Structure 1
Amino acid sequence: MIVNEIQQPRPFDLVGNPVLIGGVGTGFEATLQYRVHDGHDERAGFFNLGGGTGEHGQFQLSVDLTGAAFQLDRLFVEIYEESANDGSEINKVIVPVIYGPRIVPGYIGYRLHRVKRGDTLAAIARDNYGDASRFNDIARANPDIISDPNRIFVGQLLKVPIGA
């Protein structure tokens, strides 16, 4: 049985600031907690949904990360309920995401690039940034797809982060 569900963002989505979070959930006295963190810094709070314990409702949050001192590209978006018995975190859902502003200054979004025969990350970086040495920006934005920046494969769909 699904108690809480994060429908947005999806795992390994490339996100910006604010982080938009949406889903369905239920919590004690219609309250759920949220946390966005990298293990070094976090933004956290709570929100209300539905009519009470056992009732599910949709939620949408916009979490402002301005001033967060994140040290990693990967963030974790968490939604959970605080136990009425002991205050522990229960019914927790965790979604890993990639934080675009750590990769490119002025992050505004990303382009999609389908790898074709003869592509290299350096060539894709040159075409998108005018600088082949920025291939690592693309690798950092796609850790679930690229394990070795020297090896990309025809058909892979890569996110190319774009800044202002």
Structure 2
Amino acid sequence: MAVTLDIQQPQPFDLVGSTILIAGNATAFEGTLSITVSEGHDEVTSFIQVGSLGLRQFQGSVEIPASAAFTLNRLFLTLADDSGNENGPSVTIPVLYGPLILPGYAGWQPYTVQPGDTLTAIAQSQYGNGDFQPIFEANQNILANPNLIFPGQVLRIPRNDI
């Protein structure tokens, strides 16, 4: 059976929490996709049932336990056909791990950069201090330099429940 993996969620560089929601369309041998979340130092594994008769929509999640020893905030989510074939098709998606960007991470909200804004000023208005690092790290896929932001850019502002 040919294998198709069309992952619709998460998208590359999505900002995720300790529960990563996964959805898409797939066919898989015996109807199972394996999941690996890794950053090179540690990994978490799980699986999702997708059905084995033709292309099927699926959704599931993987929990990142507090005991995971991730040291980097950029993780790689890999879904693969769980057929036992090491060379079987797989899809790898980079995601940004909110709990290593902002302690107590509980989600994010969009912010549209205004003329005259700086990351320090945005951090001051959002967090009550000038620590812009969480904003910079949550937007590392669109910001190469914390001193270069432009009016109209939409940034993700990480939020915590602390």
Residue aligning to 1:68: 68
What count of residue pairs does the alignment treat as equivalent? 159
Change (3 A) 1:100 1:6: same
1:102 aligns with 2:77: no
Pairwise CA distance, 1:152 = 0.6
Percent of counterpart pairs with the same letter? 45
Pairwise CA RMSD of aligned residues?
1.6
Q: Which runs of 5+ in 2 are unaligned?
A: none
Who is 1:126 aligned against? 124
Q: Unpaired segments of 5 or more residues in structure 1?
A: none
Aligned partner of 1:143 in structure 2 is 140
User: Residue by residue, what CA displacement relative to the aligned partner does 1:105-127 show, whole Å, maximum 9, x if unpaired?
Assistant: 11111111111110000000000
| CA-CA distance at 1:45 after TM superposition | 2.2
Give the 3-state SS of the residue equivalent to 2:103 in structure 1.
coil
What residue is the counterpart of 1:22 in the other structure? 23
Does residue 92 of structure 2 align to residue 78 of structure 1?
no
Query: Which secondary structure does the structure 2 equivalent of 1:60 belong to?
Result: strand
Instruction: Answer yes or no: is the 8 Å Cα contact 1:33–1:81 preserved in 2.
Output: yes
Report deviation, 1:83: 4.8
TM-score (norm 2): 0.91
Give the C-alpha shift of residue 68 in structure 1.
1.0
Q: Any idea what SS the aligned residue of 1:61 has?
A: strand
Aligned residue in 2 for 1:56: 55
1:121–1:135 contact (8 Å) kept in structure 2: yes
Query: Which amino acid is the alignment partner of residue 60 of structure 1?
Result: Q
- Give structure 1 regions of 4+ aligned residues with deviation exceeding 4 angstroms: none
Matched residue SS, 1:101: helix
> Are the aligned partners of 1:38 and 1:75 in contact in 2 as well (CA < 8 Å)?
yes
Deviation larger for 31-40 or 144-153: 31-40
Supply the distance in 1 between the matched residues of 2:159 and 2:46 (Cα, whole angstroms): 29
Report the CA distance between 1:38 and its aligned residue. Answer: 1.1
1:51: Cα distance to partner?
3.0
Pair 1:33–1:130, CA change in 2 (3 A): same
Which secondary structure does the structure 1 equivalent of 2:91 belong to? strand
Equivalent residue number for residue 114 of structure 2? 116
CA distance change for structure 1 residues 150 and 89 in 2, over 3 Å: closer, same or farther? same
Is 1:156 aligned to 2:153, yes or no?
yes
